[in-house]
Amino acid sequence: MSEVTTQKQELRCPGCNRAHKEDGRFCPLCGYNLSGLMEARQSNSLIGQVIADRYRVRKAVGRGGMGIVYQVEHILMGKVMAMKVLHPKWKSGSHQAKRFQQEIRVVSRLSHVNTVSVFDCGETKEGSLYIVMEYLGGHDLEWLIQRETALPAVRTAHIAKQVCSSLTEAHTRGIIHRDIKPANIFLLHEQESDFVKVLDFGIAKLIEPGKENFTEAGLIVGTPYYMSPEQAQGSNSLGEATDIYSLGVVMYEMVTGQLPFQGQTVGDFIEAHLRQQPKLPSQISESQEIDLELEGIIMRAMQKEPQQRFGSIADMKSALIGYLERETQRRVASSPLSAEMACEQLGIGVLTTLDVPSFSSSSPETEQFQRETLSTPPPPSIPPPVEGTSRHLRVTVDKAPKGKKPKKRPQRTPSVGGIQVEGDRADIARHPLVWKDSFDEAVPAE
């Protein structure tokens, strides 16, 4: 079954992001008018055509509320790319056309490795605007959540950290995404595990003084399941905190396998984002124990008041990096053999080990050590003192050589606590000491 045929089986509503297989003109959940999408789905007029004398359209790979995404091939280079074309019904000068042109301006300013790259833009012979981007091989986060239900905490933090990296560059350039959701977080399979690309800046807000604002006051933009409270109110002054909240909801869904709020209509979700407090992820997670540190990051990002969230998306990224580093240390401490595997999974490098020589039980070094240890006599053991008595140790010297008169050995009475020695200091220095087996009890015990 071809990819185009698969796309014809279901229609994804731009209003609530739910897939529908029925042929109704309106979404049964949010009431979005699907007529334009249905007309575009029935016509794939660009397939097989050559756009701008260099892009041959091969097939349709995705559809949205504003346009269709095609897989195209550059005729000269042979490079496969993605082309997003605005629906033909949106004529030049319309509100949707202006928004599409803004998306081109927005994405062309971004160059972060975790953001989808843009190569070209233009207009077809029929007057439809298009934008050419890199073609990604893999799957989006929405597909992964549906397949895995809940993701491990460390994997969740690793993906969210990369989303923060993409948004940090966007926020620095005055760009607010406003539609962070699993469907717009793409995971490549050609590179390292879970390499993220942030997609779809179609409703991104470009903050530029003196420029026209394409968002009408009171107009709700975004996906209801992930929009911030101020976004749900239709606020016209959305900042970085909006993307922080949406990313917090995405992380909540990643670790628990479900959204923080439940409802039947768009109004139910908007009301929940405005007034309901979500349960802690650790209270509803059935597949894993969620670390309190990661739970704190998620709940702080989902605070109702923007001022109570992270000060910036960069601060949220720092918190995730700190959590990943401490989690790696805990794993290394609990299981040293898995240190290399844990570091490789988190993408923070591999730990090196000390080059310590190892001795087997049958090695020459070990045998030599055992011979030396067994041949060395142990030091004399001194019996423990008897209570109420004192101990006196007698040390003698070897006899003098034959033919010489032995010197008189003056008796030296030691002080209390000292050791009595037989022989003078010179004899002791010249002759080795000999340990005797007998001990005199003469020194009082301490």
DSSP calls for 324-342: HHHHHHHHHHH-GGGHHHH
Q: 10 Å Cβ neighbour count for 214?
A: 16
User: Residue 425 burial by CB count (10 A; 0-12/13-18/19+): exposed, middle or buried?
Assistant: exposed
Rounded-to-integer distance, Cα 33 and Cα 30, Å: 9
Reduced to 3 states (helix: H, G, I; strand: E, B; else coil), residue 112 is coil
- Cite the active site residues: 179
Rounded-to-integer distance, Cα 415 and Cα 223, Å: 95
- Phi, psi (deg, nearest 5) at residue 117: -90, 145
Residues 6+ away with beta carbon under 8 Å from 394? 420, 422, 436, 438, 439, 440
Residue from 100, 96, 200, 185 nearest 142 by CA: 185
Percent of the chain that is helix, strand, coil (3-state, to 5) = 35, 15, 45
Q: For residue 200, what are the β-bridge partners?
A: none
